[in-house]
């Protein structure tokens, strides 16, 4: 009986360790019904501006890792050019540096004509089924997916670490809380110059104990020339709309189950509708003709 008790205790301890360990990792490209998973259909391609004169906002795509309605990290594309000077970047940046982190890849070094050494922190690209956890190096600094930086008769640096894996290219993110850590991945492609494409993303479940409702919404017509109708079975939802450069253009709260949005005063192009309710959201891309 004593041996059985000891064995049972050891087995219980082993299972506890395995369960705790498995809850603290995530696999790139994998998700289940308990995760926050979003397939962006069709894929969203953003192109950052190359600013010569007046300021244009960067092309950004935000991500809310812990689903609290606050964006934690975001992809960013922006460039500027003047006489004898040029810079471009596609990077991933962090809003809340106290809790959010991105997996670090390596340092890229560049030597100027004057012999000075420049360095850039680059993002870690993962393949499908790679482990996302404490095995990675994490940082809250800006990480580059690609960048260009040159000054006439000074230096010229060009970096693009995009590997174009056949199984997919994933960025690893996490949100650290006192009780646990939320891990996630973002699938990206088409990293070129000031361009990037977001295909899908998933984050491990936020253990809040809240019974979450899946948001099902119809947004039509698409394409549209002027008005868009949003219909959902969940009253009291919030709505944010971004233009194709990632700039927030419309924000509304506590909307009814049937809401009409007027786009007549906005330019033709692609718009991202983000419909939020409690700890879930639904995104749709609308084309304004």
**Beta carbons of 227 and 246 less than 8 angstroms apart:** no
**Beta carbons of 230 and 219 less than 8 angstroms apart:** yes
First to last CA, the chain: 77
pLDDT digits (tens, 9 = 90+) for 66-79: 877 788 999 999 99
In whole angstroms, what is the distance from residue 3 CA to residue 113 CA? 73
In whole angstroms, what is the distance from residue 268 CA to residue 274 CA? 19
In whole angstroms, what is the distance from residue 111 CA to residue 57 CA? 30
pLDDT digits (tens, 9 = 90+) for 198-224: 999 999 875 433 333 455 678 888 888
Query: Options 3.30.450.20, 2.40.30.10, 1.10.1740.10, 2.60.40.2550; which CATH number does 210-289 get?
Result: 2.60.40.2550
pLDDT digits (tens, 9 = 90+) for 5-48: 444 434 433 333 333 333 457 899 998 877 888 888 889 999 99
How many CA atoms are closer than 13 Å to the CA of 177, on its beta-carbon side?
A: 13
In whole angstroms, what is the distance from residue 42 CA to residue 200 CA? 10
In the chain, residues under CATH classification 2.60.40.2550 are 210-289
Distances 223 to 69, 220, 262, 263, 286 between C-alpha atoms, Å:
27, 8, 13, 11, 6
- Determine if the pTM surpasses 0.75: no
Beta bridge partners, 241, equal 250, 273
Q: Which residue has the higher pLDDT, 122 or 154?
A: 122
Of 63-72, 100-109, 140-149, 208-217, give the lowest mean pLDDT range: 208-217
The confidence score (pLDDT) of residue 169 equals 96
Distances 276 to 149, 196, 273 between C-alpha atoms, Å:
38, 25, 10
The two structure tokens encoding residue 102: 């991105």
């Amino acid at each position: 009986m004593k041996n059985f008790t000891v064995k049972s205790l050891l087995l219980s301890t082993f299972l506890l360790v395995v369960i705790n360990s498995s809850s603290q990792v995530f696999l790139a490209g994998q998700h289940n019904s308990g995760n926050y998973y979003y397939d962006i259909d069709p894929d969203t391609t953003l192109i950052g501006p190359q600013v010569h004169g007046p300021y244009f906002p960067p092309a950004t795509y935000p991500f809310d890792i812990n689903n609290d309605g606050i964006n934690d990290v975001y992809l960013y594309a922006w460039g500027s050019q003047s006489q004898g000077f040029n810079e471009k970047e596609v990077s991933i940046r962090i809003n809340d540096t106290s809790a959010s982190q991105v997996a670090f890849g390596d340092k890229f070094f560049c030597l100027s004509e004057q012999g000075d050494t420049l360095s850039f922190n680059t993002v870690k690209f993962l393949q499908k089924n790679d482990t996302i956890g404490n095995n990675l190096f994490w940082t809250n600094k800006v990480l580059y997916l690609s960048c260009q930086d040159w000054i006439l008769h000074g230096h010229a640096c060009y970096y693009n670490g995009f590997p174009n894996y056949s199984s997919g290219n994933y960025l690893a993110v996490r949100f650290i809380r006192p009780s646990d850590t939320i891990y996630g991945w973002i699938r990206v492609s088409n990293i070129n110059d000031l361009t990037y494409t977001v295909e899908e993303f998933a984050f491990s479940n936020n253990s809040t104990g809240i019974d979450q409702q899946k948001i099902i919404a119809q947004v039509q017509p698409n394409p549209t020339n002027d008005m868009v109708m949003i219909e959902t079975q969940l009253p009291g939802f919030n709505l944010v709309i971004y233009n194709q450069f990632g700039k927030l253009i419309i924000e509304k709260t506590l909307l009814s189950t049937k809401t009409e949005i007027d786009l007549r005063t906005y330019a033709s192009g692609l718009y991202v509708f983000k419909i939020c309710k409690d700890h879930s959201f639904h995104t749709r891309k609308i084309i304004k003709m």
